[in-house]
Protein backbone atom coordinates (compact mmCIF):
# COMPACT_ATOMS: atom_id res chain seq x y z
CA UNK A 1 0.00 0.00 0.00
CA UNK A 2 2.82 2.39 0.89
CA UNK A 3 4.47 1.74 -2.50
CA UNK A 4 1.18 2.56 -4.24
CA UNK A 5 0.87 5.81 -2.27
CA UNK A 6 4.46 6.70 -3.16
CA UNK A 7 3.82 6.07 -6.86
CA UNK A 8 0.66 8.20 -6.76
CA UNK A 9 2.49 11.08 -5.02
CA UNK A 10 5.41 11.04 -7.46
CA UNK A 11 3.07 10.73 -10.45
CA UNK A 12 1.06 13.77 -9.33
CA UNK A 13 4.22 15.84 -8.83
CA UNK A 14 5.52 14.88 -12.28
CA UNK A 15 2.11 15.47 -13.86
CA UNK A 16 1.93 19.02 -12.45
CA UNK A 17 5.47 19.72 -13.65
CA UNK A 18 4.75 18.56 -17.19
CA UNK A 19 1.36 20.25 -17.17
CA UNK A 20 3.17 23.54 -16.57
CA UNK A 21 5.17 23.08 -19.79
CA UNK A 22 2.10 21.79 -21.60
CA UNK A 23 -0.36 24.55 -20.73
CA UNK A 24 2.07 27.41 -21.42
CA UNK A 25 3.07 25.80 -24.72
CA UNK A 26 -0.58 25.44 -25.71
CA UNK A 27 -1.42 29.01 -24.65
CA UNK A 28 1.52 30.35 -26.64
CA UNK A 29 0.45 28.42 -29.76
CA UNK A 30 3.40 26.02 -29.77
CA UNK A 31 2.77 22.55 -31.19
CA UNK A 32 2.78 19.76 -28.57
CA UNK A 33 3.27 16.31 -30.07
CA UNK A 34 3.02 14.26 -26.86
CA UNK A 35 2.21 14.66 -23.18
CA UNK A 36 3.60 11.68 -21.26
CA UNK A 37 3.56 10.64 -17.63
CA UNK A 38 6.49 8.28 -17.10
CA UNK A 39 9.17 6.82 -19.36
CA UNK A 40 9.59 3.49 -21.11
CA UNK A 41 6.93 1.30 -22.73
CA UNK A 42 3.49 2.81 -23.20
CA UNK A 43 0.75 1.41 -21.00
CA UNK A 44 -1.91 3.72 -22.38
CA UNK A 45 -2.19 6.31 -25.13
CA UNK A 46 -4.93 8.47 -26.58
CA UNK A 47 -4.70 11.16 -29.22
CA UNK A 48 -6.80 14.30 -28.96
CA UNK A 49 -6.28 16.76 -31.78
CA UNK A 50 -2.58 17.07 -32.57
CA UNK A 51 -1.35 15.83 -29.16
CA UNK A 52 -0.91 12.23 -28.03
CA UNK A 53 -1.45 11.64 -24.29
CA UNK A 54 0.38 8.63 -22.88
CA UNK A 55 0.98 6.80 -19.62
CA UNK A 56 4.22 4.81 -19.44
CA UNK A 57 5.66 2.05 -17.28
CA UNK A 58 8.38 3.99 -15.41
CA UNK A 59 6.54 6.62 -13.42
CA UNK A 60 9.58 8.43 -12.00
CA UNK A 61 9.47 11.10 -14.65
CA UNK A 62 7.60 12.32 -17.67
CA UNK A 63 7.90 14.72 -20.57
CA UNK A 64 6.18 17.02 -23.01
CA UNK A 65 7.40 16.47 -26.58
CA UNK A 66 7.42 19.83 -28.34
CA UNK A 67 7.74 20.15 -32.08
CA UNK A 68 11.22 21.45 -32.89
CA UNK A 69 12.52 21.12 -29.35
CA UNK A 70 15.83 19.48 -30.33
CA UNK A 71 15.83 19.81 -34.10
CA UNK A 72 14.99 22.20 -36.92
CA UNK A 73 11.38 22.34 -38.06
CA UNK A 74 9.57 24.13 -40.85
CA UNK A 75 6.40 24.24 -38.77
CA UNK A 76 5.84 27.90 -37.79
CA UNK A 77 4.33 26.63 -34.51
CA UNK A 78 7.46 24.67 -33.60
CA UNK A 79 8.98 25.81 -30.32
CA UNK A 80 12.31 26.44 -32.08
CA UNK A 81 10.58 29.05 -34.27
CA UNK A 82 8.96 30.86 -31.35
CA UNK A 83 10.46 34.10 -29.95
CA UNK A 84 12.90 33.56 -27.09
CA UNK A 85 10.57 35.02 -24.39
CA UNK A 86 7.96 32.38 -25.34
CA UNK A 87 10.52 29.57 -25.11
CA UNK A 88 11.76 30.93 -21.79
CA UNK A 89 8.20 30.90 -20.41
CA UNK A 90 7.55 27.35 -21.65
CA UNK A 91 10.76 25.93 -20.16
CA UNK A 92 10.35 27.76 -16.84
CA UNK A 93 6.69 26.81 -16.45
CA UNK A 94 7.36 23.23 -15.28
CA UNK A 95 9.56 24.07 -12.28
CA UNK A 96 7.36 27.03 -11.37
CA UNK A 97 4.31 24.76 -11.43
CA UNK A 98 6.03 22.49 -8.90
CA UNK A 99 6.64 25.45 -6.61
CA UNK A 100 3.02 26.55 -7.03
CA UNK A 101 1.86 23.01 -6.21
CA UNK A 102 3.99 23.05 -3.05
CA UNK A 103 2.30 26.28 -1.99
CA UNK A 104 -1.17 24.80 -2.60
CA UNK A 105 -0.34 21.67 -0.58
CA UNK A 106 1.05 23.75 2.29
CA UNK A 107 -2.02 26.00 2.20
CA UNK A 108 -4.19 22.91 2.72
CA UNK A 109 -1.90 21.79 5.56
CA UNK A 110 -1.95 25.09 7.44
CA UNK A 111 -5.64 25.69 6.85
CA UNK A 112 -6.30 22.34 8.53
CA UNK A 113 -3.83 22.44 11.42
CA UNK A 114 -3.70 26.20 11.79
CA UNK A 115 -0.69 28.50 11.59
CA UNK A 116 1.66 29.38 14.46
CA UNK A 117 1.12 32.83 15.97
CA UNK A 118 3.32 34.83 18.38
CA UNK A 119 1.31 33.77 21.40
CA UNK A 120 2.60 31.29 23.97
CA UNK A 121 0.77 27.98 24.21
CA UNK A 122 3.25 26.44 26.63
CA UNK A 123 6.68 27.12 28.11
CA UNK A 124 9.42 24.50 28.00
CA UNK A 125 10.70 23.54 31.42
CA UNK A 126 14.20 24.76 32.24
CA UNK A 127 14.48 27.06 29.23
CA UNK A 128 15.14 30.84 29.32
CA UNK A 129 11.48 31.81 28.77
CA UNK A 130 10.43 29.96 31.93
CA UNK A 131 13.24 31.52 33.94
CA UNK A 132 12.25 34.98 32.69
CA UNK A 133 8.65 34.49 33.84
CA UNK A 134 6.93 34.15 30.47
CA UNK A 135 3.62 32.29 30.85
CA UNK A 136 1.12 30.47 28.62
CA UNK A 137 -1.28 32.86 26.83
CA UNK A 138 1.29 35.66 26.84
CA UNK A 139 1.35 37.42 23.48
CA UNK A 140 4.74 38.59 22.26
CA UNK A 141 4.34 42.03 20.71
CA UNK A 142 7.90 43.35 20.47
CA UNK A 143 11.51 42.10 20.50
CA UNK A 144 14.36 44.59 20.88
CA UNK A 145 12.01 47.45 19.92
CA UNK A 146 10.93 45.63 16.75
CA UNK A 147 7.21 44.95 16.40
CA UNK A 148 6.27 41.29 16.07
CA UNK A 149 3.22 40.37 13.96
CA UNK A 150 3.92 36.75 13.02
CA UNK A 151 5.60 33.67 14.46
CA UNK A 152 8.11 33.77 11.59
CA UNK A 153 9.11 37.32 12.58
CA UNK A 154 9.58 36.16 16.18
CA UNK A 155 11.76 33.20 15.13
CA UNK A 156 13.86 35.49 12.93
CA UNK A 157 14.30 38.04 15.72
CA UNK A 158 15.49 35.33 18.13
CA UNK A 159 17.80 33.51 15.68
CA UNK A 160 19.42 36.70 14.34
CA UNK A 161 20.21 37.86 17.88
CA UNK A 162 22.24 34.76 18.72
CA UNK A 163 22.74 34.14 22.43
CA UNK A 164 22.69 37.80 23.42
CA UNK A 165 20.04 39.08 25.86
CA UNK A 166 16.70 39.96 24.25
CA UNK A 167 14.29 42.61 25.45
CA UNK A 168 10.87 41.05 24.91
CA UNK A 169 7.60 42.91 25.41
CA UNK A 170 4.59 40.71 26.11
CA UNK A 171 0.91 41.40 26.46
CA UNK A 172 -0.66 39.63 29.42
CA UNK A 173 -4.33 40.46 29.60
CA UNK A 174 -4.50 44.25 29.54
CA UNK A 175 -0.93 44.73 30.74
CA UNK A 176 2.27 45.20 28.74
CA UNK A 177 5.27 43.64 30.47
CA UNK A 178 8.95 43.68 29.58
CA UNK A 179 11.19 40.64 30.01
CA UNK A 180 14.93 40.16 29.63
CA UNK A 181 15.60 36.77 28.05
CA UNK A 182 18.96 35.23 27.12
CA UNK A 183 18.47 32.55 24.42
CA UNK A 184 20.43 29.31 24.43
CA UNK A 185 21.58 27.08 21.60
CA UNK A 186 19.61 23.84 21.60
CA UNK A 187 21.72 21.00 20.18
CA UNK A 188 18.69 18.81 19.48
CA UNK A 189 16.91 21.53 17.49
CA UNK A 190 20.20 22.90 16.08
CA UNK A 191 19.09 26.47 16.65
CA UNK A 192 18.91 29.28 19.20
CA UNK A 193 15.76 29.07 21.36
CA UNK A 194 14.06 30.70 24.31
CA UNK A 195 11.81 27.68 24.90
CA UNK A 196 8.23 28.56 23.97
CA UNK A 197 5.62 26.60 22.00
CA UNK A 198 3.27 28.72 19.87
CA UNK A 199 -0.49 28.77 19.77
CA UNK A 200 -2.11 27.98 16.43
CA UNK A 201 -4.85 29.89 14.65
CA UNK A 202 -6.91 28.89 11.64
CA UNK A 203 -7.84 31.36 8.90
CA UNK A 204 -7.59 31.57 5.14
CA UNK A 205 -5.36 34.65 5.19
CA UNK A 206 -3.01 33.23 7.80
CA UNK A 207 -2.79 29.88 6.00
CA UNK A 208 -2.00 31.77 2.77
CA UNK A 209 0.83 33.77 4.38
CA UNK A 210 2.28 30.76 6.23
CA UNK A 211 2.19 28.62 3.08
CA UNK A 212 4.13 31.29 1.18
CA UNK A 213 6.71 31.60 3.98
CA UNK A 214 7.13 27.82 4.23
CA UNK A 215 7.50 27.46 0.45
CA UNK A 216 10.23 30.11 0.51
CA UNK A 217 11.87 28.35 3.47
CA UNK A 218 11.86 24.99 1.65
CA UNK A 219 13.32 26.68 -1.44
CA UNK A 220 16.15 28.25 0.56
CA UNK A 221 16.96 24.91 2.21
CA UNK A 222 17.17 23.11 -1.13
CA UNK A 223 19.24 25.86 -2.78
CA UNK A 224 21.59 25.76 0.22
CA UNK A 225 21.93 21.98 -0.19
CA UNK A 226 22.94 22.33 -3.84
CA UNK A 227 25.42 25.07 -2.95
CA UNK A 228 26.93 22.77 -0.30
CA UNK A 229 27.01 19.95 -2.86
CA UNK A 230 28.96 22.10 -5.33
CA UNK A 231 31.36 23.32 -2.62
CA UNK A 232 31.95 19.79 -1.34
CA UNK A 233 30.34 20.26 2.07
CA UNK A 234 27.95 17.41 1.26
CA UNK A 235 28.48 14.53 -1.15
CA UNK A 236 26.46 12.72 -3.81
CA UNK A 237 25.92 10.01 -1.20
CA UNK A 238 23.63 12.45 0.64
CA UNK A 239 21.26 12.64 -2.35
CA UNK A 240 18.13 10.53 -2.18
CA UNK A 241 17.06 8.77 -5.38
CA UNK A 242 13.68 7.38 -6.50
CA UNK A 243 13.95 4.26 -4.33
CA UNK A 244 14.82 6.34 -1.27
CA UNK A 245 11.98 8.77 -2.00
CA UNK A 246 9.49 5.90 -2.31
CA UNK A 247 10.62 4.58 1.07
CA UNK A 248 10.48 8.03 2.67
CA UNK A 249 7.01 8.80 1.26
CA UNK A 250 5.77 5.42 2.50
CA UNK A 251 7.15 6.08 5.99
CA UNK A 252 5.61 9.56 6.17
CA UNK A 253 2.29 8.30 4.80
CA UNK A 254 1.91 6.07 7.87
CA UNK A 255 1.93 9.16 10.11
CA UNK A 256 -1.12 10.76 8.48
CA UNK A 257 -2.43 12.67 5.49
CA UNK A 258 -1.31 16.10 6.74
CA UNK A 259 2.30 14.99 7.13
CA UNK A 260 2.15 13.35 3.70
CA UNK A 261 0.92 16.58 2.12
CA UNK A 262 3.69 18.60 3.81
CA UNK A 263 6.36 16.10 2.73
CA UNK A 264 4.96 16.06 -0.81
CA UNK A 265 5.29 19.86 -0.84
CA UNK A 266 8.95 19.53 0.11
CA UNK A 267 9.54 17.01 -2.70
CA UNK A 268 7.69 19.26 -5.15
CA UNK A 269 9.89 22.26 -4.30
CA UNK A 270 12.92 19.99 -4.59
CA UNK A 271 11.81 18.85 -8.04
CA UNK A 272 11.22 22.43 -9.14
CA UNK A 273 14.55 23.78 -7.89
CA UNK A 274 16.48 20.76 -9.24
CA UNK A 275 15.01 21.28 -12.72
CA UNK A 276 16.07 24.94 -12.65
CA UNK A 277 19.74 23.97 -12.30
CA UNK A 278 21.62 25.20 -15.40
CA UNK A 279 22.56 21.70 -16.55
CA UNK A 280 22.00 20.12 -19.99
CA UNK A 281 18.76 18.12 -20.29
CA UNK A 282 17.19 19.98 -17.36
CA UNK A 283 14.81 22.91 -17.79
CA UNK A 284 17.49 25.17 -16.32
CA UNK A 285 19.88 24.09 -19.07
CA UNK A 286 17.36 24.98 -21.76
CA UNK A 287 16.67 28.30 -20.04
CA UNK A 288 20.43 28.99 -20.06
CA UNK A 289 20.58 28.45 -23.84
CA UNK A 290 17.58 30.75 -24.35
CA UNK A 291 19.15 33.50 -22.23
CA UNK A 292 22.45 33.08 -24.09
CA UNK A 293 20.54 33.56 -27.34
CA UNK A 294 18.86 36.69 -25.97
CA UNK A 295 22.26 38.16 -25.05
CA UNK A 296 24.10 37.07 -28.23
CA UNK A 297 21.21 37.75 -30.57
CA UNK A 298 21.86 34.40 -32.20
CA UNK A 299 20.73 30.88 -31.32
CA UNK A 300 22.88 27.79 -31.27
CA UNK A 301 21.85 25.41 -34.10
CA UNK A 302 19.03 23.20 -32.70
CA UNK A 303 20.86 19.99 -33.59
CA UNK A 304 23.96 21.02 -31.61
CA UNK A 305 21.89 22.10 -28.63
CA UNK A 306 19.93 18.84 -28.85
CA UNK A 307 23.19 16.86 -28.84
CA UNK A 308 24.36 18.68 -25.70
CA UNK A 309 21.05 17.95 -23.97
CA UNK A 310 21.28 14.32 -25.05
CA UNK A 311 24.72 13.96 -23.47
CA UNK A 312 23.38 15.66 -20.34
CA UNK A 313 20.49 13.21 -20.28
CA UNK A 314 22.89 10.25 -20.43
CA UNK A 315 24.90 11.67 -17.53
CA UNK A 316 21.72 12.20 -15.51
CA UNK A 317 20.66 8.60 -16.16
CA UNK A 318 24.09 7.39 -15.03
CA UNK A 319 23.79 9.49 -11.86
CA UNK A 320 20.28 8.17 -11.29
CA UNK A 321 21.49 4.57 -11.57
CA UNK A 322 24.31 5.27 -9.12
CA UNK A 323 22.00 6.96 -6.60
CA UNK A 324 19.42 4.18 -6.95
CA UNK A 325 22.16 1.62 -6.28
CA UNK A 326 23.17 3.58 -3.15
CA UNK A 327 19.53 3.72 -2.02
CA UNK A 328 19.16 -0.05 -2.38
CA UNK A 329 22.36 -0.70 -0.40
CA UNK A 330 21.23 1.70 2.34
CA UNK A 331 17.73 0.23 2.63
CA UNK A 332 18.52 -3.47 2.26
CA–CA distance, 71 with 93 (Å, rounded to integer):
21
Q: What is the DSSP letter of 138?
A: -
For the annotated catalytic residues, the residue numbers are 18
Cα angle, residue 226 at apex, residues 93 and 101 outer, rounded to 5°: 35
Contacts of residue 100, defined as CB under 8 A and 6 or more positions apart, other chains included, come to 16
CA–CA distance, 155 with 194 (Å, rounded to integer):
10
Contacts of residue 5, defined as CB under 8 A and 6 or more positions apart, other chains included, come to 249, 250, 253, 260
CA–CA distance, 130 with 259 (Å, rounded to integer):
30
Contact 123, 151 (CB under 8 A): no
Q: What is the DSSP letter of 258?
A: H
User: What is the CB neighbour count within 10 angstroms for residue 187?
Assistant: 7
Amino acid sequence: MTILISIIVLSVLVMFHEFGHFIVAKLSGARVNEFSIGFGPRLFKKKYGETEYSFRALLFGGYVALEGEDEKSNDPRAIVNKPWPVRLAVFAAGPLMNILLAFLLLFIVFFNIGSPIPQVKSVMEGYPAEKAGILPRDKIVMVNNTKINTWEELEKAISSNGERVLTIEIQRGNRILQKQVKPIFDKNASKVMIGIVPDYERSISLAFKTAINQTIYFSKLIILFFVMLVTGKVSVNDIMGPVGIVQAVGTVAKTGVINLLAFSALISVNLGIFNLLPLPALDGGRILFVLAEAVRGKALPPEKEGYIHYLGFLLLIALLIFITYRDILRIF
